[in-house]
Amino acid sequence: MTITIVGHGYVGLVTACVFADFGNKVWVVGHTKEKLARLKKGDPIIFEPGLKELLQKNIKARRIFFTDDYENSVSESEIVFIAVGTPTKETGEADLNAVIDVARKIGKNLKSKLTVVSCKSTVPVGTNKKIETVIKRHKPKSSEFAVASVPEFLREGTGIFDTLNPDRVIIGSDSKKAIELLIKLHQPINGKRIITNLASAEMIKYASNSMLATKISFANLISFYCEKTGANVVEVLDAVGLDNRIGRSFLYPGVGYGGSCLPKDVRAFLNTGKKLSINSKFLEAAEEINKTAMDSFVDVVANNSPGKKIGILGLSFKPNTDDVREAPSLYIISELLKQGFEIKTYDPVAMENVKKFFENKISFKKNPYEAVAKTDAVLVITEWNEFKQIDLAKIKKIMNQPFVFDGRNIYEPELMKKLGFKYFSIGRP
């Protein structure tokens, strides 16, 4: 099968490489010549474990191609995926300008045969109908198309595995032909098939991400209770998570959720609720608790650090990615800078992306030991494995004062006490 994917971010590029690896011919359409040139050479631009190897394998096999030309790619494709960003506007609603612009360009380049235009971008309910309207307005009269919604559920850091082994494959369309073609394309992929209409497919994505955000915020709420009462949040949530109706996944406290999905999707879902006159205080509370978690961590550091020199370990919003969109680290660093802290940082892959925000206001080090040397306190923001296995005795020796603020609960309190650290974690005595 020949397919086109418009967009080469975490979703678009991973999806393209996986489908190419199945033997399909895959066009990837982008708009920045510099990025396209890097992709053609096998540089994925983004960090995702295993992606570079998969990309280079399929370039060599001549199954994946990169272009800024819609005409050749769209005209020969049976399926065209839209996988561009939908960032949050100041109002909280999703910015659909890129999606609509892509729909217009796809429409202009459709040929006579049936083409399925499938949206992978996370979009509010009703957007695929707008895509359909835009394409109808711009397509040649002789061309035939159908619109579908196939939301993605991959996690950055495990994107290839998640694309190959999703819990479910959602295919939403009002066209029987489109559904049949998409089922055929996804045949090598695991996961239960859920066939819905367009609105349900759009809703499933927002409902899923809002539930995940809510679980994280609930875990943080429980951590607030534990800190006030002397309870241990890990013991509490371990027991709660053993209830099969609840589960342990995402039930972990910390410095808040971030990334390209949960924050913006919760806001967009809230905005949709306002437009539909739906009381969404439940989701408003989840978002408010998320900010409280970050503010609380900043307050603990500001009130307990013995000095103003701190080292921060971890900048990406989660391990195994260089993505810092909505990363808690950005907010925490900004707030601590306002309070006069001098900050050194280290992250295995995300430092270049953070430099764009802070430039020379903070310093970036080559390894975690350089980041914590001669500091008064160390802050753990991202739970990279590298930090879990760090030489804690060496850390203590090179610090000015042995204060550790663990925003991800990656160390055991008893061990830290035994080593002589003054240790602060989330929701634990």
- H or E segment and range at residue 237: helix 233-241
Q: At what angle do helices 127-138 and 97-108 cross, to 10 degrees?
A: 40
Q: Is the pLDDT of residue 17 over 80?
A: yes
**Helix extents (H) in 305-350:** 328-338
CB of 339 within 8 A of CB of 305?
no
Q: Is 261 one of the catalytic residues?
A: yes
The answer to whether 129 is a known ligand-binding residue is no
CB of 420 within 8 A of CB of 413?
no
The two tokens of residue 284 are 């408003």
Structure-token match 């631009």, residue found: 45
pLDDT at 125: 92
CB of 176 within 8 A of CB of 195?
no
In tens, the pLDDT along 258-277 reads 998 899 999 999 999 999 99
Q: Tell me the C-alpha distance between 392 and 418, whole Å.
A: 11
CB of 155 within 8 A of CB of 186?
no
Task: Work out the widest C-alpha separation in the chain, in whole angstroms.
Answer: 76
In terms of residues, how long is the chain? Answer: 429
pLDDT at 113: 86
Residues 361-377: what's their mean pLDDT? 97
The answer to whether 318 is a known ligand-binding residue is yes
In tens, the pLDDT along 223-250 reads 999 999 999 999 999 999 999 999 999 9
Structure-token match 């729909």, residue found: 103
Residues 137-141: what's their mean pLDDT? 94
pLDDT at 123: 93
For residue 352, what are the contacts with CB-CB under 8 A and spacing of at least 6? 322
The answer to whether 163 is a known ligand-binding residue is no
Residues 418-426: what's their mean pLDDT? 97
pLDDT band at 211 (very low <50, low <70, confident <90, very high): very high
pLDDT at 149: 97
In tens, the pLDDT along 391-409 reads 999 999 999 999 999 999 9
The answer to whether 155 is a known ligand-binding residue is yes
Residues 112-116: what's their mean pLDDT? 90
Percentage of the chain modeled with pLDDT above 70: 100
The answer to whether 325 is a known ligand-binding residue is yes
The answer to whether 272 is a known ligand-binding residue is no
* DSSP structural state of residue 349: S
pLDDT at 51: 97
pLDDT at 423: 98
The answer to whether 36 is a known ligand-binding residue is no
Q: Which domains does the chain have, with CATH numbers?
A: 2-196 (3.40.50.720), 211-424 (3.40.50.720)
In tens, the pLDDT along 334-364 reads 999 999 999 999 999 999 999 999 989 999 9
The answer to whether 126 is a known ligand-binding residue is no
The answer to whether 86 is a known ligand-binding residue is yes
CB of 381 within 8 A of CB of 408?
yes
What DSSP line would sit under 194-256, residue for residue? EEE-HHHHHHHHHHHHHHHHHHHHHHHHHHHHHHHHT--HHHHHHHHHTSTTT-STT---SS-
In tens, the pLDDT along 275-328 reads 999 999 999 999 999 999 999 999 999 999 999 999 999 999 999 999 999 999
The answer to whether 39 is a known ligand-binding residue is no
pLDDT at 324: 95
Residues 198-204: what's their mean pLDDT? 96
pLDDT at 313: 98
The answer to whether 259 is a known ligand-binding residue is no
Q: Is the pLDDT of residue 112 over 80?
A: no
